[in-house]
Structure 1
Amino acid sequence: MSALRPGPRERLISTAIAMVQERGVHATGLSDLLRRSSAARNSIYQHFPGGKQELMVAATETAGEVVVARIDRLAETGDPAEVLRALIAGWITELEESDFRAGCPIAAAALVGPDEPAITAAAAGAFARLRGRLAAALTDAGQPAAERTASVVISAIEGALLQARAAKSVQPLRDVEAALPRLLSSA
């Protein structure tokens, strides 16, 4: 049985996520996005009547959903430190496989600026969902101050991602990986 090929909407969203990871929102042009996604030009306005802004909101929300689903799968272990190690390991793999071109699409959306409030709001919502799911996993594991700890963890990982891309080194992520278990044990 052959796998179904994603439709144009899904291809546009997944391509937008990949391009935003590499280039940021503003440098992701519709012509390149259409070419990379193999979608017809009218697909954008058919599936995203609000144009690029609506597509970027959908891509940001989808990127958040993907990470939330990953946190949910990892949280089944019941070990918060293992969840964090696995999240960091995933980012290390993605950075190395992309030659440090792939950053966090949610962070890229957050940096879009005040002229794009819908995209910024989508990033804020995605980060809130990540913090909420991570806090729930920490609470389930008996961690005190779970909401504050989840906020610090997300901030530490995002900051390490920025540093890692700039330095073309995974060391900032390794540093966070080494420090977070102490944070969890002292929370």
Structure 2
Amino acid sequence: MSAVRPGPRERLISTAIAMVQERGVHATGLSDLLRRSSAARNSIYQHFPGGKQELMVAATETAGAVVAARVDRLAETGDPAAVLRAMIAGWVAELEDSDFRAGCPIAAAALAGPDEPAITAAAADAFAGLRTRLDTTLRAAGQRDSARTASVVISAIEGALLQARAAKSVQPLRDLEAILPRLLSPA
């Protein structure tokens, strides 16, 4: 039985996420996006009447939802350190598989700049959702000051990703993996 091919809207969103991970929002051109997604030109305006900005908002929201769902699945272990290790393992694999070209699409959207308030707002919402999920996981594990700790965890992961991409080395993520769990102890 053959798999159902995603429709043009889904292909545009998934391609936009991949391209934003590699290039950022502003360097993701519509012509390249259409070519990589195998979508017709009118698909963008049919599915995203607001054009590129609306597509980038949808891509950011989708990326945030995917990461949030992953955190939710990982949180079922009840072990915040295991959540962190799995998140780091996912990023290590993504960086190595992409030869360090793929970064965080939410961070890339956050860097879209002041001329793209809808895109940066979508990134802020995605980060807030992740902090909330981590806060819930940490609080359930007895972590004091769980909201601030969740914020630090997200910031540390994003910083390690930036360093890893720049250095073309997963060492910053490995360093984080070694140190950050100390923050996650309930005491």
TM-score (norm 1): 0.98
Q: In structure 2, what residue type is equivalent to 1:60?
A: T
Determine whether 1:28 maps to 2:14: no
Q: Distance in 2 between matches of 1:186 and 1:126?
A: 26
In the alignment, structure 1 segments of 5+ residues that lack a partner are none
Q: Structure 1 residues 55-64 or 1-10, which shifts more?
A: 1-10
CA RMSD of aligned residues (A): 0.9
Matched ranges for 1:61-80 at <5 A: 61-80=61-80
Secondary structure of 1:35 counterpart:
helix
1:2 is displaced (CA, Å) by 2.0
User: How many residues matched?
Assistant: 187
- What are the equivalent positions in structure 2 for 1:2-41 lying under 5 Å apart? 2-41=2-41
User: Given residue 14 of structure 2, which amino acid in structure 1 is its aligned partner?
Assistant: S
Matched to 1:17, the amino acid is I
Matches within 5 A, 1:148-187: 148-185=148-185
- The correspondence of residues 86-165 of structure 1 with structure 2, limited to 5 A, is 86-165=86-165
Q: Which amino acid aligns with 1:31?
A: S
Query: 1:103 aligns to what SS in structure 2?
Result: coil
Q: Percent identity?
A: 87
Residues 21-66 of structure 1: CA deviation (Å, up to 9, x unaligned): 0000000000000000000000000000000000000000000000
Give CA-to-partner distance per residue, 1:65-92, whole Å, 9 cap, x none: 0000000000011110000000000000
* Partner Cα separation in structure 2 for residue 95 and residue 114 of structure 1: 28
Report the residue type matching 1:72 in the other structure: D
Q: Which structure 1 residue ranges, 4+ long, deviate > 4 Å from structure 2?
A: none
